[in-house]
Amino acid sequence: MRIAVVALGKIGLPLAAQFADAGHEVIGVDVSQKVVDSVNSAKEPFPGEAHLQEYLERLVPAGKLKATTNYAEAIPGADAIVLVVPLFVNDETWEPDFAWMDAATKSLAEHLTPGTLISYETTLPVGTTRNRWKPMIEEISGLTEGEDFDLVFSPERVLTGRVFEDLRRYPKLVGGLTESGTEKAVKFYESVLTFDERPDLKQPNGVWNMGSAEAAEMAKLAETTYRDVNIGLANQFAVYADKEGIDVDLVIDACNSQPYSHIHRPGIAVGGHCIPVYPRLYLSTDPDASIVRTARTFNAGMPNYVVSRVEELIGSLEGLKVVVLGASYRGKVKETAFSGVFATVDELRQRGAQVVVHDPMYSDEELGGFGWDAYHLGEDVDVAIVQADHEEYKTLKSSDLPGVRLLADGRRVTDPDLWKGVVRVVIGDAANDS
């Protein structure tokens, strides 16, 4: 097959490589000339994706994979088009911002030829495939869905850094607007993916027919919204445990020893492209989902809670030097999408603190690009707040931060034995603040 992949980001490029590795001719489209040039030079444009560089070195010279900024080069004659264009959410209104996806959809529709399967993999609000993309593509292309082309939704379910592993691990969900279109999509994905054995599943691992685009859209929103709600519950338990002098970690361990309890862990923030965003996409079509809204709001308030606890214990933060440890939204990932670092820095600055940021994955220049002064271990500091669970912080000790009087570990990653003599605060364990 000839396959076009629209948007060669941290999901799209590994997908394109996977399709090409399965024996198909793949052309990727991206608005960034820098990304396109990097791919065509067989060099990964971003670090950290396991095996991606190996795929590029093998597939690009062989002519199996190439990239372009020109839709007219990629779309006509394609047997399948897969879109992984980012969808953003307005921070104030919580409404989806379709600007980038609309632009990509209009561009592909202008060059669409009959007989093409179009699959959206970007997470969408329920009903978007049928009610937004179908009429837009039909109007611009002059073609009819279900007759001239087929349109389906098949959500990406992978994590950056381990995309190829996750493609094998998790079932591929597919839902179309017609039965024949869904069947065509099932066959397409069966031809480009292979799957691990999963005896724990109720049906064989592979491509799963969800029956409709709406069911596939909701499945992706539900699995990620569940995590946000679960974390929100864990955070609420932790805040209550702080009031009562209880170690919430011991409580959660005890609860999860019973097979019907799966409580997640509390933390200073929920970040990344998925968990903070998808509950808001769900709420955009189900505004009455009060549980979802409450959990999202509670999780968004955790940086404020941690900084407030620091202030309660140490007094005014005015003029104090505070280091936020970790710019990334999670450990071992060089990505700041919706990272808790932003809210944490803002909360500290509002209280008059002199804020510096440390992250082993970022250079001083990169941190400066976010408007932060970089911190280096060994420099004097008054307070430290752990925001990301980087491996390096597991062995961090008080002597690495001369003068530090209080450590607020928002991820429970530091070793308490290495912080004796310093007040160490963790979320949900006020009994052991020491």
Element (H, E) at 424: strand 423-426
Looking at the chain, the domain(s) classified CATH 3.40.50.720 span: 2-211, 302-432
Number of H helices, E strands in the chain: 16, 16
Which homologous superfamily is 302-432 in?
Answer: NAD(P)-binding Rossmann-like Domain (3.40.50.720)
Look up the pTM and report it.
0.92
How far is the C-alpha of 225 from the C-alpha of 267, rounded, in Å? 17
Q: Are 410 and 386 in contact (CB under 8 A)?
A: yes
What is the model's pLDDT at position 385? 98
Neighbouring CB atoms inside 10 A of 360's CB total 17
CA–CA dist 136, 66 (Å, integer): 28
Q: What DSSP state is assigned to residue 131?
A: I
* 80-83/2-6 β-pairing: parallel
The CA dihedral of 313, 315, 317, 321, to the nearest 10 degrees, is: -70
DSSP 393: G
- Among candidate residues 209, 148, 134, 140, the one with its CA nearest the CA of residue 179: 209
Q: Provide the pLDDT for residue 431.
A: 61
Question: Which residues, including other chains, have CB under 8 Å from residue 181's CB and lie 6 or more apart?
Answer: 117, 145, 146, 150, 151, 152
Task: Match domain 221-300 to its CATH number in 3.40.50.2000, 3.30.200.20, 3.40.50.300, 1.10.1040.10.
Answer: 1.10.1040.10
Give pLDDT, residue 432: 60
d(C-alpha 230, C-alpha 240), whole Å: 16
According to CATH, where is 1.10.1040.10 located in the chain?
221-300
Q: What is the pLDDT of residue 160?
A: 86
Q: What is the pLDDT of residue 273?
A: 86
- In whole angstroms, give the CA distance from residue 49 to residue 161: 4
pLDDT of 430 reads 76
List, in sequence order, every beta strand (DSSP E) within 57-199.
65-68, 80-83, 88-89, 96-97, 116-120, 149-153, 172-176
Please give the single-letter amino acid code of residue 80: A
Class of the CATH-defined domain 2-211: alpha beta
pLDDT, residue 197, reads 97
CA separation, residue 249 to residues 60, 234, 246 (Å): 48, 10, 9
State the Cα–Cα distance between residues 383 and 363, nearest whole angstrom: 22
Q: Which residues of the chain have pLDDT under 50?
A: none
